[in-house]
Amino acid sequence: MDVNIKYSDNACDELGIDKEIGGDETIEEPTVGMQFSSVEEVHAYYMKYGKKKGFGVSKRNSRQNDDGTVRWFCLACSRGGISKSRTANVMKPRQTVKMGCKARINAVFNDEGVYTISKVILDHTHACSPGKTRHFRCFKKVDARVAKRLEINDETKIGLSNNFKSVVVEAEGYDNVTFGENECRNYIDNARRLRLGVGGGVALCNYFEDMQKRNPEFYYKIDVDNEMRLKNMFWADARSRAMYESFGDVITFDTTYLTNAYKMSFASFVGVNHHGQSILFGCGLISSEDAYTFEWLFESWLQCMNNQPPNAIITDQDNAMKIAISRVLSISRHRFCLWHIMKRLPEKFGSHCRYGEIKSAIHRCVYDSFSEHEFEEHWCHMLNTYDLHENAWLVSLYSDRHFWVPTYVKNTFWAGMSTTQPSEGMNAFFGDYIHSRTTLNQFVDQYDSALKRNVENETIANFKSFNTNIPCISRYPFEKQFQSAYTLAKFKEVQDELRGFLYLTTKEMGCESGRYTFVVVDEVQVGDDLLKRVTFIVKVDQDPLDVECSCKLFEFRGILCRHALRILTQMGQHTIPSKYILDRWRKDVKRKYTFVKSSYDTSSIDDTRRYDRIQNCFYELCFNASKAESSCLKLISQIEQLKTQYHGIADHDTSNTVDTTN
């Protein structure tokens, strides 16, 4: 069906003015079978119909295909649904517009590539008010012309109240304005956030240009809106780009609000080096956290890294990120940060009378399941025991189990990034340098400080790995192999596996076509004082030597597990093939990025060096002159003369010289 729809030319979908529906215009009632070319067209039609009839419209539910295409959605009266009060005082419930109205339309995406209305409910359980539709939230919009007026007034320091009143006067009354003062305030706040202001975005852009002048390999990309205002940005320094060649197999992506003044999210791409330390692969500032913005950011980052996607990526459980990754980084294995998921248990079940039991049951499902089958059994038992089959959050978690449950992700290499700790991303790299009160201007300095600290930490770790040793705890030759090859941090992990020998019992099950199979029983700690006997299967080929364990520690962390090492020693194999000693963890590998300087403010470093040289000269001078009052007064007099001579030297060209012969 052709529906004559006109769209607002305002770039901000949240705000605009709709003046298209006149009092005499006829809008066709929705019927089953109506067809539209897009989700937006269906939405625009039903909004137009709702405004004519006098009810608000909201999007209730939707389903998407794996590629992000909406396959089904529901648009309903805004008074639908039942309010679930969250107020602590039940005697003072909050007001609500929801009253269970059933009016709605459902639309499905068919094989012809169009959206067809599949269900229609026209009757409302309340009176409709065609003359008051401007008060519904969905119809409160600001068009491009009015938006521009608001912005100009705001930039000339006209107060919010007078700014809004000017629009009312121009429209000849409140009845002709389809937004209120709150919407005006929201729009102005949004415009201020996106506006490229001095001391904020300008400072950052100047920083980018300066860094690129010093090193052409410094990369940055800026996204602006139709008004040429800062919208999104991405950057990575030369060292970060070079490090990606060595350690870009696994990354974590994380976001956090940078400052309340700008309301922009700070995003970081972080990996780990051969010491297990967090390293930065690039940063971004984004004005929203939707799929489109994440796509832009991921594409910008991928271009920066020569279109070489990582093997694996870790993010929070976020649908917009998930969609963007499926489109831009489709060949990368995507995993959710388990720590963030488990952190939400109090929020989801804290009010449940059996919260403690449910929390323990979920922990058993997640942490004590060593196979997919075992997880399925534990999960099903938990749902049955606590009658949680209808819990929407658990349903969504189960459908996404391949993204977060440890036993489902252990076949992929994650470079030692733990599934049980906070993301090794932003917090690990930036620490206290970046937080919600950091302004963009402060950020420039803090970003450099974080980079400097990161390089220094790696330099110290390299020095210690080359100049100190951790003594071996066994007589096995393979331990010396790891000791001489691996960094201290990774050798400690190898020794942790050796200590685990104490808790193992083994049994040979047989040999078929030169492939040996062993059962290894391990006493695994599953609680503070609890041990669980877990059975693992180790398979060994002797020619050429190849070992595989069902625990998948080597595949997951890149460290050969205790079960495999125990079987190899039992078979008399005391040295390890080189394929099990990963270059990624070696301390003796020369890596390209170590020859690349970071894009620091080198001028400040030179200033510091010159200051130190001068200060050292003055130390001896002051020491000698302080021995007598006369020499002390003479030196002070000479210093006062020098002060006059060198006053304002920083304002002159550095090529100028100062005559100091007198």
Across the chain, what does the average pLDDT equal? 82
pLDDT at 113: 85
Q: What is the C-alpha to C-alpha distance for residues 190 and 357, in angstroms, rounded to an integer?
A: 45
Q: Does an H or E element contain 163, and which?
A: helix 160-170
- Indicate if the pLDDT at residue 423 is higher than 50: no
pLDDT at 365: 93
- Indicate if the pLDDT at residue 483 is higher than 90: yes
pLDDT at 201: 63
Q: What is the C-alpha to C-alpha distance for residues 324 and 294, in angstroms, rounded to an integer?
A: 6
Tell me the whole-structure pTM to 2 decimals. Answer: 0.64
Q: Please write the tens of the pLDDT for every residue from 200-258.
A: 566 677 778 888 888 888 999 998 877 777 789 999 988 999 999 999 999 999 887 65
- Indicate if the pLDDT at residue 17 is higher than 50: no
Nearest Cα to 42, choosing from 113, 114, 134? 114
Q: Please write the tens of the pLDDT for every residue from 252-273.
A: 998 876 554 556 788 999 999 9
pLDDT at 191: 67
* Residue 277 or residue 442, greater confidence: 277
Nearest Cα to 18, choosing from 122, 104, 146? 146
Q: Please write the tens of the pLDDT for every residue from 47-75.
A: 989 988 889 998 888 888 877 788 999 99
Q: How many other C-beta atoms are found inside a 10 Å radius of the C-beta of residue 248?
A: 19
The residue-averaged pLDDT of 148-154 equals: 74
Report residue 67 as tokens. Answer: 């590629």
